[in-house]
Amino acid sequence: MSAAADRPVSADRIVYSPITRRPKLQWPGGARIALWVVPNVEHYEYLPRPGQLRDPWPRAPHPDVLGYSRADYGNRVGFWRMLEVIDRYQVPCSVSLNLAVYEHFPEIMEACERRNWEVICHGFYNTDFLFGLPEEKEREFIAECVATHRRLTGRELPGRLSQAGTLTVNTPDLVAEAGIKYYCDWRFDEQPFPIKVKTGRLLAMPYQLEVNDGVNFRFPVEAEAYARFTIEMFDRLYQDSAESGRVMHIALHPFMIGQPYRIRYLDRILKHVLSHDQVWLATGGQIADWYLENYLPLLDAQMSGTTR
């Protein structure tokens, strides 16, 4: 038996498909780039649930006041500074939301809802992890997320990004089972792409960590370099999208990009990107809906004979 045959089904969630051999993707209105901006609006617990497989505050014994207060700055100050720049350019956003933010900080909820921001469920707290959660417990957790979002907004939940990047082997199946359309944990492409799940359809949405401020600012990369990297990524994607459309994702964390000495670089990024024609400003749900209706049937037809 081959090594491939020995792999569990979960290891084959994505069919291999070279981007150069797919049907041409063109976004609405002939756009080349679908740009989605994702503020990660998070809440970190002062005293997280004990006994998790990974310590949410490994720097120090709990409470880690420095870590907690650094994150809390984002909801008190950084969010509002970031909002000024986003409003200046009238960018529609998909907020990667720890749902507890809407419960604890209704002013943030009011600001997001007034702007018609879409919600990507990022769990309840960024310090309550999924690692090691049994399947039924995870199913209950995701169902609670869906119900909480519906109670708070009156809408169905379109997207999911596991809090703090924590997930299990069952997560894609359970996300699709809950009726969620797109999923950001698998970051393997520059176009949306279907993930194999037990029921329904689930799209992996491009979510580029390479230009995520939450990754860059935790390493020796500062805001000027981060802006340069993000602009260079956009320029290359824009060039390549002449052949087939791409998705450009910009992830923001208010407690990072909202610092006084960093915020002007967000302005620099958006000013550059929006100086280009053929850029579709969209939410994740808008991208997913258009792709599912207009492009996925073409891709399915092409790949119907694929066995890998």
C-alpha span between 286 and 282 (Å, rounded):
6
Helix, strand, coil % over all residues of the chain, rounded to 5? 45, 15, 40
Q: Which two tokens stand for residue 114?
A: 């007034």
Provide the 3-class DSSP secondary structure of residue 43: coil
> What is the reported pLDDT for 11?
60
**How many Cβ atoms sit within 10 Å of the Cβ of residue 89?**
15
Q: In sequence order, what E strands does 70-225 have? A: 94-97, 118-121, 159-160, 182-183, 193-195, 202-204
> What is the reported pLDDT for 218?
72
Q: Which two tokens stand for residue 161?
A: 């990004």
C-alpha span between 161 and 92 (Å, rounded):
18
25-47+59-303 to CATH, choices 3.40.50.300, 3.30.1490.100, 3.20.20.370, 1.10.530.10: 3.20.20.370
> What is the reported pLDDT for 307?
41
111-129 tens-digit pLDDT = 999 999 999 999 999 999 9
Domain spans of the chain?
25-47+59-303
Per-residue pLDDT of the chain (308 residues; tens, 9 = 90+): 444 445 444 468 999 999 999 999 999 999 999 999 999 999 999 999 999 999 999 988 999 999 999 999 999 999 999 999 999 999 999 999 999 999 999 999 999 999 999 999 999 999 999 999 999 999 999 999 999 999 999 999 999 999 999 999 999 999 999 999 999 999 999 999 999 999 999 999 999 888 888 777 777 678 999 999 999 999 999 999 999 999 999 999 999 999 999 999 999 999 999 999 999 999 999 999 999 999 999 999 998 865 44
C-alpha span between 44 and 141 (Å, rounded):
18
Taking the CA atoms of residue 126, residue 205, residue 289 and residue 23 in that order, the dihedral angle to the nearest 10 degrees is 180
196-220 tens-digit pLDDT = 999 999 999 999 888 888 777 777 6
> What is the reported pLDDT for 28?
97
| Conformation bin of residue 241: beta by default, left when phi > 0, alpha when psi is -120 to 50 | alpha
> What is the reported pLDDT for 270?
98
DSSP letter assigned to residue 19: G
Q: Which two tokens stand for residue 258?
A: 């909202």
> Would you call the peptide bond into 63 cis, given omega within 30 degrees of 0 as the criterion?
yes
| Residues 6 or more apart whose Cβ sits within 8 Å of residue 174 | 135, 138, 139, 142
**How far apart, in Å, are the Cα atoms of 191 and each of 100, 269, 272?**
31, 21, 22
Q: How far is CA 304 from the centre of its chain?
A: 29
Q: Tokens 């002007």 belong to which residue?
A: 264
Phi, psi for 110 (deg, rounded to 5): -60, -40
Which residues, listed in sequence order, are joined to residue 97 by a DSSP beta bridge?
Answer: 41, 121
How would you classify the pairing of strands 202-204 and 182-183?
parallel
C-alpha span between 90 and 48 (Å, rounded):
36
In the chain, what's the furthest Cα-to-Cα distance? 59
